[in-house]
Structure 1
Amino acid sequence: MTNGTIHDHKLPQLQQATDTKIMAAAFEDYFRNQYPSRGLKVNDCQISRLQHRPGKECNITYRLSGHDRDRRSYDQWIFAKMSANGENHKAVLKEKPLQWPGCDFWKPVSAWQEMNMELHAFPYDVKMPYLGQLLEPEFVKRQIEERLPNFGLSREWTCREVTCHKIKYMPTRRCVLRYEFVVAGAVNQQRQIVFYSKTYNSANSRYVYDVLSAVCASPACNNGVLNIPAPIANLDTANTLWQQAWQGTKFGSVMRERGWVSLPHSGFMPKIAAMLAALHQVEIPHVPLAGGPAPAKAIENAYGDADDIAAFLPEKQAVLTAAAKTLAELAPEIANHSTVATIHGSFKVAQLLCREAELALVDFDSISRGDPLYDVAEFFASILYLIVSDGIPAPPIRESLESFWAEYQQRVSWHCDRRRLAWYLVAFLLGKMHSSLKRSEVKALANMPLAFDLIAEWLEVAKRKA
């Protein structure tokens, strides 16, 4: 994820903190002092999230795996907070909890003075204090048995065994777990079921559950075009959505293995366009949808991203400010349309799963009622930015996007304004550039001039007179 050579004179330990080989050994030494009776060994250290604000702070989520002196394995997320000169750590550590539900032997909060880090051990998370109970097998068993019909099982079945696997953690925001459980019925019947659990830092899980239930009941989800893993239940007290498992692989991983240059002839782009068009035409009048993102929010984000990018690339301040200003000037024209639809709100490569030739769509956290071209533009950005992030040649990327655009237009009844698409696209590209910089993505940093070329190109499209 990172190049291990981030320099920030206000955070002198940052270069070491982003080198996973060095940190594996450093964590092992630290654990030797913190947990002397455990004999913890670190076999692997990965960085799953990194957010750097130059001169101010850096938050790093590490995923560590290893074993103790008795060869018992562990798999743990450690959220490390670094701030300039360690300013915020001392006050927090004065009130640190000594124990936390689900933390087992891990100290919920600890200070690593040599690394200028405040460490939070999963599941310690003040924004999601209910995470710990989701790691307790007995709690999960009870929740399953209370909802057996939701799994297509009668009340006669009994949950015998639950295994939890950690999938993804975004500290203070969301956590995804995978459960495998075994149920026993009459006459020695036994079944194994797999499902996913997504925990939120708010009651948004109930909204997503209600909306997804309605979408999955619509005809669009019964013709093979729009595959969505159906919701199973919502645990209101834990802000947690349970959802069926769709046995597939991340679409991005599939295409990286095949080679992104093969995308134009893969047959996937028309399918993705058909999927999105189908979602946009789903009507669920009995479930109130949240309002979609407004152009004003995109402008606010664009100015914010421009300033944040300039913190990394001060020589580009004028270009970035001009781009954001142009978006603001064009906003009244862009907002002058009447097309409103059910939108995903975060439609991009990362939200697609693939199983041979089949595709499925996940992560409906932002489903709402808004401009359908918002979704189209975000997907465009996720494909187009591969030129920067992965160094993919531009021709197959552009060919793929035009194939998607043509198919999508054929499947919807409304006019698809390319200027409006370009306007959103520039805003999304600025966001992706900022993300690459704060995460120190090696290839993207090397290809950043290409990102500025894309911004200039699509700004020209947005400025064209109708």
Structure 2
Amino acid sequence: MSHVPEYDLILWRFPHDPALPHLRQLVNLLAVQQHLPAEGLRKIGIQGTAQVLAHQVVNYRPEIRCTNRYNLYDSTHDRTYQLFGKTFGDSQGQTLYERLQYFWERCLADQEAMTIAQPLGYSAAINTVWQRGAPGTPLLHVLNTSNYKPYIATVAKGLASLHASDIRDLAVHSPASHLVETHKKLSKLSDAIPRLSEACGDVADEVERTAPHSSTIPFRPIHWDFHVDQLLADNGRLVFCDLDELVIGDPVQDLANFVVDLQFRHGDHEFVHLITTEGWHQYQRLVDWPVSIERFAWHVRLQLVNKAYRQYLRFAPGFEETVERIIRSAQRGLLQ
């Protein structure tokens, strides 16, 4: 680990993360074996000690968490398995494991409930949640005009199931919280790209003017970071992933996040419009609370600001033009 005072930075080489000191054990094929969830592995038919054949980092947020994928070999039955381990800097993984167990038992008891990959255990010594790898292909790779209706119906059904759950002890995210975050991001974008100052100001004024009152929102558990890459398709079934950021919030936020993200990942905007319309009607049919188009439009605008801000943080060549295009879209309040 090195201190670079001229940039006010502390640098380290992966996996020597000071906030995740156990990470080096998780990327070592031999060391990680002692932390595998033995009881959970027995539940899926693995007897004895499984051999870790391969490891890959799936997602890493320095000083916060790291998700790793492992290929395991069961020599007793000559079978291979895929296992995911999500590690944290503290014990929040225990809460996540209990949450996953709740949703797993729920989907076993109710075929209409949101489907998730099977949780296999929690290792307190390394702050890691273990989950079996689910079969399937990322939804974006299989979604097309011939199959989108049943898939989007399943998306709506899964979201409605999540939103109707009675999962507890989640933070509450209100419109006021959204406004604070959005104003900060727009201010930074305005400073970074001065020619967008007026447009950013217009968006800030509009989100302030159209912000829903908390009393109009049916606060429910929501995914918070819901996008198409959180879904695996397997013979018509969908597996929902990454449930570690759930909050209590406005259910239509998940719908808005999904369709805004989809328009940036799929080149056919007419197709995205069809998906948006289908998802809206399917979801509205499934829930008992009001599904407001005004709140949906408000969250679409917020998510466009989030997309613009992420482009700014990436600082890729030509990012100014990309940010401008997204902010202009947020200014108009359009999905395009």
Q: TM-score range by the shorter chain?
A: 0.7 to 0.9
Which residue of 2 is the match for residue 123 of structure 1? Answer: 15
Contact 2:308 2:322 (8 Å CA) reproduced: no
Give the alignment's Cα RMSD to 1 decimal: 3.1
Which residue of 2 is the match for residue 215 of structure 1? Answer: 103
Distance 1:402 1:442, change over 3 A: farther
Counterpart code for 1:245? G
Identify which range, 304-313 or 264-273, moves more after superposition. Answer: 264-273
Per-residue Cα deviation, 1:366-425 (whole angstroms, up to 9, x for no partner) = 123332122122112212344xxx6x2432222221111011101111110111111122
Identify which range, 234-243 or 213-222, moves more after superposition. Answer: 213-222
* 2:40 paired with 1:157: no
Q: Secondary structure at the match of 1:421?
A: helix
Q: Residues 25-64 of structure 1: matches in 2 within 5 Å?
A: none
Contact 1:274 1:411 (8 Å CA) reproduced: yes
Q: What is the distance in 2 between the residues matched to 1:448 and 1:211?
A: 36
Which residue of 1 is the match for residue 152 of structure 2? Answer: 269
Q: What is the distance in 2 between the residues matched to 1:339 and 1:273?
A: 17
Structure (1 or 2) with the larger CA radius of gyration? 1
Residue 452 of structure 1 deviates from its aligned partner by 3.1
Identify which range, 218-227 or 403-412, moves more after superposition. Answer: 218-227
* 2:279 alignment partner, one of 396, 404, 409: 404
Counterpart code for 1:298? H
* 2:157 paired with 1:237: no
* 2:7 paired with 1:87: yes
Q: What is the distance in 2 between the residues matched to 1:234 and 1:395?
A: 44
Q: What is the distance in 2 between the residues matched to 1:454 and 1:173?
A: 32
Which residue of 2 is the match for residue 133 of structure 1? Answer: 25
Residue 125 of structure 1 deviates from its aligned partner by 0.8
Counterpart code for 1:289? D
Distance 1:334 1:409, change over 3 A: same
* 1:454 alignment partner, one of 323, 326, 329: 329
Q: What is the distance in 1 between the residues matched to 2:7 and 2:162?
A: 47
Residue 169 of structure 1 deviates from its aligned partner by 2.0
* 2:68 paired with 1:177: yes
Which residue of 1 is the match for residue 247 of structure 2? Answer: 368
Q: What is the distance in 1 between the residues matched to 2:245 and 2:236?
A: 26
Which residue of 2 is the match for residue 383 of structure 1? Answer: 262
* 2:323 paired with 1:438: no
Residue 347 of structure 1 deviates from its aligned partner by 1.1
Q: Secondary structure at the match of 1:159?
A: coil
Which residue of 2 is the match for residue 104 of structure 1? Answer: none
Unmatched 5+ stretches in structure 2: none
* 1:318 alignment partner, one of 185, 198, 215: 198
Query: Identity percentage over the alignment?
Result: 20
> How many residues align structurally?
333
Normalization by structure 2: what TM-score?
0.86
* 2:225 paired with 1:346: yes
Contact 1:176 1:198 (8 Å CA) reproduced: yes
Which residue of 2 is the match for residue 334 of structure 1? Answer: 213
Counterpart code for 1:229? A
Q: Tell me: higher relative CO, structure 1 or 2? Use CA pairs within 8 A at least 6 residues apart.
A: 2
Distance 1:367 1:346, change over 3 A: same
Unmatched 5+ stretches in structure 1: 1-78, 93-117, 460-466
Distance 1:160 1:274, change over 3 A: closer
